[in-house]
């Protein structure tokens, strides 16, 4: 979906305003107001491109015993798929290894060259599924949206003021092991350089809600502003604060935020009235089960949340 945000002030408008400031006002005319600098407009993320990544995650699961779980071949194949896309797009990628439950796990970190490395904006998603299924909503959806947003940064050759870093976490389903090992491995100085972490875990639930994490006020406002522009109401995420990879960041004092479309909680009739879908049924009745396939995704929720992430990455990094 296209979003109406103020476009960047044109160079000529800035020059004209600067000329007015130095030369004084035109006789008889009121001084032209100088608009506050606006962030560059974020690109529209193609939901078809996001879904193409989900189809690849499904194929990977199908070829690897039906899942993409920690310590299984489907997880490593998922890492290899995402890494290859990022390498081809000009990211500097790093694979971090850790051990959980006696098996090797991997985080993938992708840095976009440039920007102020004393101000790092991060966005991430867990890439592992549970063993019972392919994990397409949980959390192929967040993984694909973060990937497509990173690829949009490359396509735009975006030059933000801040440094951008994208992450795909391993072993979230074992208790956020990968993200915790990443945060624990940072020096205090490097921790303090992270100005924000945006988490996407389950953003295409088939009976969706639109939930925004109630954490850092600036991040929360950015996501809410995006949804206000769409005319879609949001609620505060209450299904399990601290149940995803933002928790280790938050515990380390890093500002966090995120989006969520619901797991096994039941949609109320008030929620169905404002969001559509089915009251009295779970947001995702295939949560952690074998039916979490490419059929288990609502395209509208996936599209809106992917666009909201790109909007926030652009807004918060400029």
Interaction mask 76-115, Zn ion, x per CB under 5 A: ----------------------------------------
In the complex, the smallest distance separating the C-beta of residue 307 from ligand TRP, rounded to whole angstroms, is 19
In the complex, the smallest distance separating the C-beta of residue 288 from Zn ion, rounded to whole angstroms, is 6
Active site residues: 172
List, in sequence order, every residue forming a beta bridge with 163; answer none if it has no partner. 120
Beta strands across the sheet bearing 256-260: 92-100, 103-112, 162-169, 116-126, 194-200, 256-260, 211-212, 235-236
Q: Which does 175 bind (CB under 5 to 8 A by kind): Zn ion, ligand TRP, none?
A: none
284 binds Zn ion (CB under 5 A): no
Contact 313, 123 (CB under 8 A): yes
316, 314, 315, 318: which is closest to 153 by C-alpha? 314
Residue among 35 and 175 whose Cβ is closer to Zn ion: 175
Beta strands in the chain (DSSP E): 92-100, 103-112, 116-126, 162-169, 194-200, 211-212, 235-236, 256-260
In the complex, the smallest distance separating the C-beta of residue 176 from ligand TRP, rounded to whole angstroms, is 9
Query: Using CB under 5 A, which residues numbered 127 to 156 contact Zn ion?
Result: 138
In the complex, the smallest distance separating the C-beta of residue 177 from ligand TRP, rounded to whole angstroms, is 12
Residues engaged in binding ligand TRP (CB under 6 A): 138, 172, 201-202, 237, 239-240, 243-244, 260, 263
Can you tell me the distance from the alpha carbon of 196 to that of 176, in angstroms, rounded to the nearest whole number? 18
Residue among 141 and 303 whose Cβ is closer to ligand TRP: 141
Can you read off the two tokens belonging to residue 171? Answer: 């072993």
> Could you list the residues that contact Zn ion (CB under 5 A)?
138
């Amino acid at each position: 979906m296209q979003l109406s945000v103020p476009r960047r002030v044109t160079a000529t408008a800035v020059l004209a305003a600067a000329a007015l400031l130095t030369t004084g006002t035109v006789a008889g005319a009121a001084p032209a107001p100088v608009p506050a600098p606006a962030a560059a407009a974020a690109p529209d993320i193609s939901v078809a491109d996001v879904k193409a990544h989900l189809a690849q995650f499904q194929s990977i699961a199908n070829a690897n015993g039906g899942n993409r779980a920690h310590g299984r071949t489907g997880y490593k194949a998922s890492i290899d798929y995402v890494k290859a896309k990022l390498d081809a797009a000009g990211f500097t990628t790093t694979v971090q290894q850790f051990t959980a439950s006696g098996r090797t796990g991997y985080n993938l970190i992708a840095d976009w060259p440039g920007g102020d490395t004393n101000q790092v904006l991060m966005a991430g998603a867990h890439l592992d599924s549970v063993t019972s299924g392919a994990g397409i909503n949980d959390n192929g959806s967040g993984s694909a949206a973060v990937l497509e947003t990173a690829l949009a940064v490359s396509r735009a050759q975006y030059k933000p003021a801040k440094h951008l870093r994208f992450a795909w976490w391993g072993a979230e389903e074992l208790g956020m092991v990968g993200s915790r090992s990443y945060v624990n491995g940072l020096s205090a100085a490097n921790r303090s350089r992270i100005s924000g972490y945006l988490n996407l875990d389950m953003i295409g639930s088939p009976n969706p809600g639109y939930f925004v994490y109630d954490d850092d006020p600036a991040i929360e406002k950015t996501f809410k502003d995006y949804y206000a522009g769409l005319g879609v109401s949001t609620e505060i995420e209450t299904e399990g604060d601290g149940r995803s990879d933002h928790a280790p960041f938050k515990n380390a004092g890093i500002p966090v935020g995120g989006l969520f479309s619901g797991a096994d909680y039941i949609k109320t009739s008030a929620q169905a009235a404002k969001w559509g879908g089915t009251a009295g049924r779970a947001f995702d009745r295939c949560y952690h089960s074998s039916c979490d396939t490419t059929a288990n995704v609502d395209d509208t929720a996936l599209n809106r949340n992917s666009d909201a992430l790109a909007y926030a990455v652009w807004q918060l990094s400029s």
